[in-house]
Amino acid sequence: MSESSFIVVKNLTKTFKGQIRPALDGLEAEVEKGGMIGLVGPDGAGKTTLLRLLIGLLVPETGSATVDGLDCRKEADRIRLMSGYMPQKFGLYEDLTVWENLTLYADLRNVPKTSRAAKFDELLAFTDLDRFKTRLAGRLSGGMKQKLGLACVMLSTPKLLLLDEPSVGVDPISRRELWRMVTKLSDDGLTVVWATSYLDEAEKCASVILLHQGRNLFSGPPAEALSRVEGRCLALGGLVGQERRLALTELLKEEAVIDGLIQGGDIKIVAKAKGSPVRARQGAWRPMKPSFEDAFIDILGGSSMGESELAKRMENKPDDDAVVIEAKNLTKRFGDFVAVQNNTFQIRRGRIFGLLGPNGAGKSTTFKMMCGLLSPTSGTAAIAGFNLLNSPSKARSRIGYMAQKFSLYEQLSVAQNLNFFSGAYGLHGKSQKEQTELMKQVFGLAPYMNVSAANLPLGYKQRLALACAVMHQPEALFLDEPTSGVDPLTRREFWLHINHLAIKGMTVMITTHFMEEAEYCDEIALIYRGRNIASGSPDQLKAMVASEKLKEPAMEDAFIELIGRADLEEE
Amino acid sequence: MTAFLRRLKTLIVKELLILLRDAKGRSMLVVPPLLQLLLFAYAVTLEVRDVKVAILNNDAGIHSQAVARRIKASPYFIVAESTLNQSELEEALVNQEILLGLILPSDFSAKAENRTGASMQILSDGRKSNAVQIATAYVAEIVSQYALELAEADRPGVGLGVQTVGRHWFNPNLTYVWTIIPSLMCIITLLMTLNLSAMSLAREKELGTFEQLLVAPFSPAEIIIGKLAPAILLASFESMLIYGLGRLLYGVPMRGSFLLMMMCVIIFSFSIIGFGLFVSSIVKTQQQAIVGAFMFMVPSVALSGFAAPVENMPLWLQRAVIMNPLKHALIMLKGVFLKNMPAGEVWLNAWPLLVIGVLSLAFSGWLFRKNLG
């Protein structure tokens, strides 16, 4: 143990009842004092468990952890006094105002009455909430709630700040602001542990602990991880539509490629070794800046998995370029509030269409109307020519739907879920058996067939959900943030399937917060305040915001800029 | 099999699996009815038995002693052994150690002997009005019987000239369990079906599986029948369980037709499920569903005739409780069970249930669609 280590974790293990894998599996980690530490990993990696163990909300089975020399088993109350912990859902009282929430937490934290007013003003100014002092916390947006939570935690001037996924459910604009605030705190000498499943946030931390399945895969400055893949990331541009997916398929079959993904009109790959030649596709390969995700994949040993077994066994849809999903003047009003206004779009067979937008912009409402969960106030939504209102059963039987939150029957086993959902879509007898068997093989569900869905590891829950959505070979597949929180390998696997299903002619509509997912789409509609403010391919959207200052804007830049412009127009 | 039936089967199998797959779910089906059966049959009875009584006998004569002896011998009373004085007796009453205090004045035997109107005082605990009324009536009966015998001794034939001989039809010994078994069948069915319809749909909403049902090609009718059928199935199973236990453990006789009884259970379940689905279509979480179901449960039990007879209610309320499914179910099941109620009579109570069921199902089906919009 080095002298300066602030947090020391040794051989920490914690298993939860009913879970197949331990949440933490002999974890070793050290954190220096001061600065921003990224606790990075997919959902279920053990981030929350580690944070809760550190401040004594959980007790480890084996191993030890100390914070500033204090033992987290015996001296948890002293650790809690010196640290601020912001759980994923911070306990704001929604029926109290911003000011009342602060007062309440000041009381709980024994902040002396005399210094309160000054402290409140300072924190409200810092979090940019001073305009909203008298607003009820329940009426704040997701981003503002997180800022208020941060302010409440900062009341007692802690030495250590533990933030559990503060950027979840927060749109990219608020995410940047929140990040700026916390960085400022860490610059002032506070030790901040920022847990996140967004790997792009890791790159910006002073140092990173990369968790995967309860183990420490990497710790140190992010640059050290990036250096592993330095010079191995290449991109090939100028591809459109289906061509991109076919090219990626070829590339992933190649020995020398360990990872590949679609970024708009680009295909980005990670080569096995520096300078190893790419044979499958000749062209103007250009070097790319590696990302933390590339490094993560490299640490995990690469993602290459060739072809989707799932798509291979699916029937080809006719190659007719027909319109499969169609919205005509789609409008939805809730009372006076117009959630979606006059939205029109067509999605042709085999395309991947993305709905993007901040929270509350109307993208979920649009999505729900398209798959028949909401009926439009006016306008029509049709699947393969069948209106969802007039012939709901015909339209619905052509839809596959995967919700954002895991929403299969948790009480039922994997096999029972597969049976139910195949039966729901009219499969029976031999075809039902065949499809169930296929899903079992393709998604590696065999060892889990009799396990309750509730007890599956997260990645397998997602796989099962996808399996249930595609078993009946739908014309249109609706995916609501399909890969939020899963590890990059599982995300690659998902997109492998989705890409190949599209090649086979399945039409896909997704909503997403992840810019990375948006890059896979053929077309994106950016929804803001109920209107479709911009649409086009990812590259077209990026081109809309390119300027002298920002020559190669990323998807997130385009998102923020286009929304900013819409706000300006409004004013 | 048509596509419709296949989809229905899929829904029903799913529902049953969710309920029966784990041991906890299975025990939830068997333990509560067993527990209620035991509790109601042994502990929670409306009968007045073993009433604690103290007798303050200020008289040493034969008549007062005879009356006291008879009260002691009655199976309804437990008479305090120790003799008390007036203030001790009052204190015992205040402390709820006794329900009744009987005070025989010093001239009781003398007056009785001279036939000049002997009287005794009964002090009772009015806080338990119902039990007191019944117990007081028991005492009065014992005393008047004694008076009759005295009159008979004076002039044979006169005293016993007029008397009543009671005979309880359908339940000769007024055994409480006999009436509780059919009532319990109704109440367990109510619980079961409300739970399955209100709670299980709310659970699906909370966990997001409801959306999965809605995007699948199920029609609202299929979803509703998919909830209805398993609930009716399980309610029938529970009723048979109670029926079996009632007959085996308590020897309750079954006077009517078993088939008719099961028909009643099914019609009753049907009427409740409409309400359960109505609750579930206006709530978002299971917690809200519990509150909603509870709001229905309490008045429907209180106004059913289970504990307080419907005939004692004000007229407007008697008319209003025609909307209470439990009231009709109690009449039908008690009727079929204990007195072989003919099918025609059963029908009089069955059709309101069918109307309630059809209306509430139609209403919740309409809400169903409206929520989608």
Decide if B219 and A423 are in contact by the 8 Å CB cutoff: no
Degrees to nearest 5, angle at CA B355 with B349 and B360:
130
Beta bridge partners of A354: A510, A524
The backbone region for B172, taken as left when phi is positive above 0, alpha when psi lies in -120 to 50, beta otherwise, is: alpha
Q: Which residue carries 């169930």 as its tokens?
A: A436
Degrees to nearest 5, angle at CA A528 with A525 and A529:
140
Quick one: pLDDT at residue A202? 87
Measure in Å the smallest separation between the Cα of B233 and chain A Cα atoms: 20
The residues of A whose Cβ lies within 8 A of any Cβ of B are 371-375, 392-394, 396-397, 399, 401, 403, 405-413, 416, 419-421, 423-426, 428, 468, 478
Residue of A288, A284, A369 lying closest to A326 (CA atoms): A369
Please, are residues A154 and A87 in contact by the beta-carbon 8 Å criterion? no
If pLDDT is split at 50, 70 and 90, which confidence band does A1 have?
Answer: very low
Quick one: pLDDT at residue B10? 93
Please state the rounded mean pLDDT for residues B93-102. 88
Q: Report chain A's mean pLDDT, rounded to a whole number.
A: 88
Decide if A416 and B214 are in contact by the 8 Å CB cutoff: no
If pLDDT is split at 50, 70 and 90, which confidence band does B51 have?
Answer: confident
Share above pLDDT 70 across residues of chain A, in percent, rounded to a whole number: 99
Pairwise CA distance, residues A108 & A50, whole Å: 24
Across A381-410, b (16+ Cβ under 10 Å) vs e yields bbbbebebeeebbebbbbbbbbbbebbbbb
Provide, as residue numbers in chain B, all residues whose Cβ is less than 8 Å from the Cβ of A407: 207-209, 211-212
Q: Which residue carries 């008719």 as its tokens?
A: B260
Please state the rounded mean pLDDT for residues A205-220. 91
Please, are residues A83 and A55 in contact by the beta-carbon 8 Å criterion? yes
Cα dihedral sign, A59-A63-A65-A69: positive
Quick one: pLDDT at residue A468? 94
Measure in Å the smallest separation between the Cα of A35 and chain B Cα atoms: 39
Decide if A424 and B213 are in contact by the 8 Å CB cutoff: yes
Domain ranges of chain B: 3-44+174-372, 51-154
Q: Tell me the three state secondary structure of residue A517.
A: helix
Decide if A393 and B211 are in contact by the 8 Å CB cutoff: no
Pairwise CA distance, residues A194 & B23, whole Å: 41
Q: How do residues A91-122 score in pLDDT, each as one tens digit?
A: 889 899 999 999 999 998 888 888 888 889 98
**Closest CB from B14, B212, B373 relative to A401:** B212
Q: How do residues B296-341 score in pLDDT, each as one tens digit?
A: 888 888 888 887 788 888 889 888 888 899 999 999 998 998 888 8
Whether the per-residue pLDDT at A463 is higher than 70: the answer is yes
Please, are residues A349 and A507 in contact by the beta-carbon 8 Å criterion? yes
Please state the rounded mean pLDDT for residues A240-258. 86
Provide, as residue numbers in chain A, all residues whose Cβ is less than 8 Å from the Cβ of B212: 401, 403, 407-408, 421, 468
- Taking each helix axis from N to C terminus, what angle separates B220-250 and B343-372, rounded to the nearest 10 degrees? 140
**Closest CB from A399, A401, A424 relative to B218:** A424
More confident residue, A314 or A101: A101
Q: How do residues A377-389 score in pLDDT, each as one tens digit?
A: 999 999 999 998 8
Pairwise CA distance, residues B195 & B272, whole Å: 10
Question: Nearest chain B Cα to A474, which residue?
Answer: B216
Decide if A374 and B218 are in contact by the 8 Å CB cutoff: no
The answer for residues whose C-beta is within 8 angstroms of residue B62's C-beta and 6 or more apart is B109
Within 10 angstroms of residue A229's Cβ, the number of other Cβ atoms is: 24
Quick one: pLDDT at residue A96? 92
Question: Nearest chain B Cα to A392, which residue?
Answer: B217
Whether the per-residue pLDDT at A30 is higher than 80: the answer is yes
Residues listed for chain A: 571
Q: What are phi and psi of A201, to 5 degrees?
A: -70, -30
Q: Which superfamily does CATH assign the domain made up of B51-154 to?
A: abc type-2 transporter like domain (3.40.1710.10)
Please, are residues B201 and B175 in contact by the beta-carbon 8 Å criterion? no
Decide if A411 and B18 are in contact by the 8 Å CB cutoff: yes
Decide if B372 and A408 are in contact by the 8 Å CB cutoff: no
Please state the rounded mean pLDDT for residues A397-422. 91
**Closest CB from A373, A409, A410 relative to B214:** A373
Q: Report chain B's mean pLDDT, rounded to a whole number.
A: 84
Q: First and final CA of chain A: distance in angstroms? A: 58
**Closest CB from B9, B18, B373 relative to A409:** B18
Residue of A571, A559, A509 lying closest to A533 (CA atoms): A559
Quick one: pLDDT at residue A304? 61
**Closest CB from A416, A420, A425 relative to B217:** A425
Q: How do residues B334-351 score in pLDDT, each as one tens digit?
A: 899 888 888 888 899 999
Cα–chain-centroid distance for residue A186?
Answer: 25
Residue B321 per-residue DSSP state:
G
Measure in Å the smallest separation between the Cα of B206 and chain A Cα atoms: 9
Decide if A396 and B22 are in contact by the 8 Å CB cutoff: no
Decide if B6 and A426 are in contact by the 8 Å CB cutoff: yes
Quick one: pLDDT at residue B372? 62
User: Tokens at residue A459, please?
Assistant: 């990645």
Q: How do residues B106-163 score in pLDDT, each as one tens digit?
A: 888 888 888 888 888 999 988 888 788 888 888 888 888 888 888 888 777 665 566 6
User: Tokens at residue A405, please?
Assistant: 């939150």
Beta bridge partners of A400: A477
More confident residue, A418 or B149: A418
Q: Render A74-126 in DSSP notation, one character per residue.
A: T-HHHHHHHEEEE-SS----TTSBHHHHHHHHHHHTT--HHHHHHHHHHHHHH
In this structure, of A405-409, B232-236, B362-366, the range with the lowest mean pLDDT score is: B362-366
List C-alpha distances in Å: A498 to A310, A352, A427.
Answer: 10, 9, 22
Decide if B215 and A408 are in contact by the 8 Å CB cutoff: no
Residue of A78, A83, A157, A77 lying closest to A115 (CA atoms): A157
Pairwise CA distance, residues B370 & B373, whole Å: 5
Residue type for position B135: A
Share above pLDDT 90 across residues of chain A, in percent, rounded to a whole number: 40
Select the residue from A409, A414, A432, A480 to test the B interface by mutation, using most B Cβ atoms within 10 A: A409
Provide, as residue numbers in chain B, all residues whose Cβ is less than 8 Å from the Cβ of A392: 217, 219
Decide if B10 and A420 are in contact by the 8 Å CB cutoff: yes
Calculate the dihedral angle through the C-alpha atoms of A253, A256, A257, A258, rounding to the nearest 10 degrees: 110
In this structure, of A293-307, A344-358, A537-551, the range with the lowest mean pLDDT score is: A293-307
Report pTM.
0.80
Whether the per-residue pLDDT at A75 is higher than 50: the answer is yes
Quick one: pLDDT at residue A401? 93
What was the ipTM of the complex prediction? 0.77
Q: How do residues A328-343 score in pLDDT, each as one tens digit?
A: 999 999 888 888 999 9
Q: How do residues A448-462 score in pLDDT, each as one tens digit?
A: 999 999 888 878 888
Within 10 angstroms of residue A191's Cβ, the number of other Cβ atoms is: 23
Quick one: pLDDT at residue B44? 59
Quick one: pLDDT at residue B158? 64
Quick one: pLDDT at residue B159? 55
Measure in Å the smallest separation between the Cα of B33 and chain A Cα atoms: 23
Beta bridge partners of B100: B53, B124
